[in-house]
Chains A and B, each alone.
Chain A
Amino acid sequence: MVDVTDKIMKYRDVAYYSGCALEGSANGYDVSTRAVAKSLGLRIKDVTDWNCCGAMEVKNIDPGLQTYLSSRVLSNAVNIDHANVVMAPCNGCYHNLKKAEYDLTNDPKSKETVDRLSAKAGHEAYQAGQAETIHALDWIKAAIGEEGLRKRTKGRLAGLKVANYYGCMYVRPRHIFPEKDKGPGSESTSRPHFMDDLLAAAGAENVEFPLKTACCGGAHTLSDSDTSTKLVLNILQAAEASGADVIATECPTCHSGLEMHQVRAEKRFGKKTRITMLYFTQLLGLALGIGPRRLGIHTNISDSTDLIIDKRLT
């Protein structure tokens, strides 16, 4: 019993790595994450002097450099903020911190690169195992849990049909997520369900959505837009066919990709879809009785105003 309480307490006070996208285009995700944390009484403290995790783009130029950039974020969280849990809501950031952890544990060359660059840059090198990286989904699931959410949300999302969209970086490649696929209670990389669990606890009805982990083409959202538009259109049409009112997202790249290519699909291919997207933290915020503006819903490209009124979510 003590063990369980310790675990909950550990996740109630975490370092928060928002990342570049949440400072910019995905501001609604950042605002709603902070609002939900406040409402749930969870303490999140921004990682001091954080930098970009390296994302897909730096990894393509040099994977070693991406590992170093991610390791610096972890190093700051550990050495400056004395944190042992780093929470990242962005799938890309989360993926990269996890990958850095994996590389530093398993690949001596990555460790040598990180040690050398950290020494040159004049900060402590991050050592594998010093911190645990978790996603915003893991964080709410561990710190509050479904039971806690059920009590606090009083089923406010009842009548709302949700397609949960997890994207690529939260589950693939599975070897960088050693804590997943561990049976009941753990997250699955082939059929992830943490977002389903949380939103169901808030009263939502999760539809059977086969494209939970399909790719939105986010890597080439601008450089090969037609491919991205085709992939996104597929996801949007599948969500509509599954009867969902809204797609719940957990990644700024997926979210803005769905929004942008929904418009682009209409403009370029003449394919109109009506479904809207909300970050899962925005949905949880609504369930907790937080007003839509305080969750940054009006800053999303995809306009969910009508949905919120129709479903009486305020």
Chain B
Amino acid sequence: MPIHEKSLIRPENLKVHETLAIDGIDVSGHWSTFIETRVVPDYNENLELEIAAFPGGSKIHRCFQCGSCTNACTVNAIEPRFNPRYWIYLIRMGMEQELLRDKDIIWQCVSCHKCTNICPRSVEPEGVMKATALWLEDKGYVPKSPAHVFDEEFSRQVIERGKIEDTEVLHKFLSKTKQPLVQDWLVAIMWGIARRLPVKWGIKTALAQVFKPKARRWKNVRSAISDYIYEEDEMRRQKLQTIAAARTSQTPQTHLEAAE
């Protein structure tokens, strides 16, 4: 039984008759409240396994729904729909269609680690949020999130050179997400610094664009990392295939077919 910081009843399914008499008795108003039933015909019994296969998701099975994560959550405080406890519940129940109702905000976890810090079952909900966001993209339910574009650009630089360069991350991110390089706040910041900025600093920043920061003796590391990423991707792909294969062989008929 989930705790009730979030109801499974949708507001649009609550039906109240303003005027209603049954057997001559007036039951108008909230006396006549009914919850319109809905059928969940499409459980994905492997949802938990699928999400657990993505980076960060492996401990989701440990959750006992105490809700500490949602209670501590930074994003929940400004966006009540952002509810890690509820999403973990849906995932573990296999309620994929319900989860998809929130698909556009799951990537917005800010990784403040308040949930992972407080979780009494070491679920690492922050990792589960990241894994769920990756799963949504992998399934094609959502386009690549800006956060994932950022992570990829950042990681690309780290793998390539061992270090990142701030302005390159900023510039590449804005161009890859098709945002204008000239942002009003960015211009304001630049003007602010330019007034105080010594020429030396300007030259240093410009030089960093040409001679990008690099870790030395990086070549072998780069190839070891590249191999590792390939192997990990391959392993995850196989794991997901095994999960999918098990699903089709185990459930020859859906719940609805069984009911008929």
Q: Which residues of A contact B (CB under 8 A)?
A: 20-21, 23-25, 27, 49-52, 54-58, 60-65, 68-69, 72, 113, 116-117, 120-123, 168-169, 171-174, 189, 214-215, 217-220, 222-224, 227-228, 230-231, 259-260, 263-264, 266-268, 298-299, 301, 303, 305
Closest to B150 in A: A223
Residues of A close to B149: CB separation below 8 A: 223
How far, in angstroms, from A173 to B149 measured CA to CA in the complex?
Answer: 26
Task: Given A172-B113, A224-B146, answer yes or no on A25-B166 (Cβ-Cβ < 8 Å).
Answer: yes
28 contacts between A and B (CB under 8 A): A20-B163, A24-B213, A50-B215, A51-B163, A52-B158, A55-B154, A58-B154, A60-B147, A65-B229, A68-B225, A117-B225, A120-B227, A122-B220, A123-B221, A168-B112, A172-B116, A173-B116, A217-B110, A219-B112, A222-B146, A222-B174, A223-B149, A224-B147, A227-B79, A263-B192, A298-B198, A299-B197, A301-B193
Q: Using an 8 Å CB-CB cutoff, how does the interface string of B79-112 with A read, 1 for contact, 0 for none?
A: 1000000000000000000000000000011111
Task: Given A49-B216, A51-B162, answer yes or no on A117-B224 (Cβ-Cβ < 8 Å).
Answer: yes
How far, in angstroms, from A51 to B166 measured CA to CA in the complex?
Answer: 14
Residues of A close to B173: CB separation below 8 A: 222-223
Contacts between chains A and B (CB distance < 8 A), count:
176
- Min CB–CB distance A118 → chain B (angstroms): 8
Q: Is B201 an interface residue (CB 8 A)?
A: yes
Q: Is B208 an interface residue (CB 8 A)?
A: yes
Q: Which residues of B contact A (CB under 8 A)?
A: 55-56, 74-75, 78-79, 108-114, 116-117, 127, 130, 145-152, 154-155, 158, 162-167, 170, 173-174, 177, 184-185, 188-189, 192-193, 196-198, 201, 208, 213, 215-218, 220-221, 223-225, 227-229, 232
How far, in angstroms, from A299 to B221 measured CA to CA in the complex?
Answer: 34
Residues of A close to B127: CB separation below 8 A: 63
- Min CB–CB distance B106 → chain A (angstroms): 12
- Majority DSSP secondary structure for residues of A touching B: helix
Q: Which of B110, B217, B225 contacts A49 (CB 8 A)?
A: B217
Does A51 contact B221, Cβ atoms closer than 8 Å? yes
Residues of B close to A56: CB separation below 8 A: 111, 151
Does B221 contact A121, Cβ atoms closer than 8 Å? yes
How far, in angstroms, from A153 to B225 measured CA to CA in the complex?
Answer: 47
Does A62 contact B232, Cβ atoms closer than 8 Å? yes
- Majority DSSP secondary structure for residues of B touching A: helix
Does B158 contact A173, Cβ atoms closer than 8 Å? no
Residues of B close to A123: CB separation below 8 A: 217, 221
Does B189 contact A260, Cβ atoms closer than 8 Å? yes
Task: Given A64-B232, A220-B147, answer yes or no on A173-B117 (Cβ-Cβ < 8 Å).
Answer: yes
Does A21 contact B166, Cβ atoms closer than 8 Å? yes
How far, in angstroms, from A264 to B148 measured CA to CA in the complex?
Answer: 22
Does B78 contact A230, Cβ atoms closer than 8 Å? yes
- Min CB–CB distance B79 → chain A (angstroms): 8
Does B150 contact A57, Cβ atoms closer than 8 Å? yes
Residues of A close to B224: CB separation below 8 A: 117, 120-121
How far, in angstroms, from A69 to B227 measured CA to CA in the complex?
Answer: 15
Given contact pairs A24-B208, A65-B229, A123-B221, a sample of 10 additional A-B residue pairs in the complex whose CB atoms are under 8 Å apart: A23-B163, A24-B164, A51-B221, A58-B154, A61-B229, A62-B228, A168-B112, A168-B114, A267-B184, A301-B192
Residues of A close to B184: CB separation below 8 A: 267-268
Q: Which of A24, A49, A228, A268 contacts B166 (CB 8 A)?
A: A24
Does A227 contact B130, Cβ atoms closer than 8 Å? no
Does A231 contact B110, Cβ atoms closer than 8 Å? yes
* Chain B CB within 10 Å, residue with most, of A20, A68, A113: A20
- Min CB–CB distance A75 → chain B (angstroms): 11
Closest to B198 in A: A298
Residues of A close to B56: CB separation below 8 A: 60, 63
Closest to B74 in A: A215
Residues of B close to A169: CB separation below 8 A: 113
Residues of B close to A305: CB separation below 8 A: 196
How far, in angstroms, from A265 to B165 measured CA to CA in the complex?
Answer: 26
Residues of B close to A173: CB separation below 8 A: 113, 116-117
Does A20 contact B164, Cβ atoms closer than 8 Å? yes
